[in-house]
Chain A
Amino acid sequence: AQSVTQPDARVTVSEGASLQLRCKYSYFGTPYLFWYVQYPRQGLQLLLKYYPGDPVVQGVNGFEAEFSKSNSSFHLRKASVHWSDWAVYFCAVSIPSGGNYKPTFGKGTSLVVHP
Chain B
Amino acid sequence: NAGVIQTPRHKVTGKGQEATLWCEPISGHSAVFWYRQTIVQGLEFLTYFRNQAPIDDSGMPKERFSAQMPNQSHSTLKIQSTQPQDSAVYLCASSLAGEDTQYFGPGTRLLVL
Told that A44-B102, A107-B43 touch, could you supply 15 new A-B pairs with CB distance under 8 A? A34-B101, A41-B106, A43-B107, A44-B91, A45-B104, A46-B101, A49-B101, A95-B99, A99-B99, A100-B48, A102-B33, A102-B45, A102-B98, A102-B99, A105-B45
| B positions within 8 Å CB-CB of A | 4, 31, 33, 42-43, 45, 48, 50, 55-56, 91, 93, 97-107
Question: Residues of B contacting A45 with CB < 8 Å?
Answer: 104
Among B43, B55, B101, B103, contact of A105 (Cβ-Cβ < 8 Å)? B43
| Most A CB within 10 A of own CB, among B4, B93, B99, B100 | B99
Interface size, chain A (Cβ < 8 Å): 26
Contact count A vs B, C-beta below 8 Å? 61
Chain A 78-102, CB-CB to B under 8 Å as 1, else 0, gives: 0000000000001010111111111
B94 CB to closest chain A CB (Å) equals 11
Contact B99 A103 (CB under 8 A): yes
Question: Residues of B contacting A102 with CB < 8 Å?
Answer: 31, 33, 45, 48, 55-56, 98-99
Contact B43 A103 (CB under 8 A): no
Question: Residues of B contacting A97 with CB < 8 Å?
Answer: 99
Contact B33 A108 (CB under 8 A): no
Cα distance A42–B91 in the bound complex, in angstroms: 10
Contact A101 B98 (CB under 8 A): yes
Cα distance A94–B100 in the bound complex, in angstroms: 8
- Which A residue's beta carbon lies closest to that of B101? A46
- Which B residue's beta carbon lies closest to that of A95? B99
